[in-house]
Amino acid sequence: MYDTILVTLDATPTDRAIIEHIKPLAKLLRSKIVLLHVADGWAARRFGADAVSEEVDQDAAYLEKVREEFAAADIPAETVLAYGDPAGEIVNWVEKNGCDLVAMSTHGHKGLSDLVLGYTASRVQHDIFVPVLMLRAG
C-alpha cells in the first residue's frame, strides 16, 4: 500500500509527532522511508547544494540521527537534504521521485499565524496528487 513514505522534517520538536506515528506504520507495511529536510536559511537559499554553513551541517547531522533511529527499528530509511523554499522543494521531490504517502507534522497554528506558518503544509497538500498525512504536533 505505502511502499515509499516521504517524511518531511523541519528539525524542530514538532517532528517527534510524525516520526513516532510513522514508525509502527512503516514497520507494519514494510515501507521504505525517505526523510526530507529543506534547509532554508540565507546560505541555503542563495547557494543551494553549494551552501556551507553551520545550519546546513546541523541539518545534515539531524537527518542522519533520525535515519539511525529508523534503522535501529529495522525500518529502511534514506535522507535527502534539499535547499530553498520548503513547500516548493517537497512538491518538486514528490513530482520527480514519486512516493505513496507524504507524512508531515503541523504546528497547529490558528488564525493569522496559520496563514503564515501553515503555508508549507497547505501548499504541499494542494500541489501534489498523492495522499498527505498531516499530524498536528501536541
Render pLDDT for 102-114 as a digit per residue (tens, 0 to 9).
Answer: 999 987 555 444 4
Q: Domain 4-136: give its CATH superfamily.
A: HUPs (3.40.50.620)
Contacts of 75 (CB under 8 A, 6+ apart): 23, 26, 27, 31, 33
Where along the chain do its domains lie?
4-136
Query: Average pLDDT, stretch 14-22?
Result: 96
Query: Quick one: average pLDDT of 96-122?
Result: 74
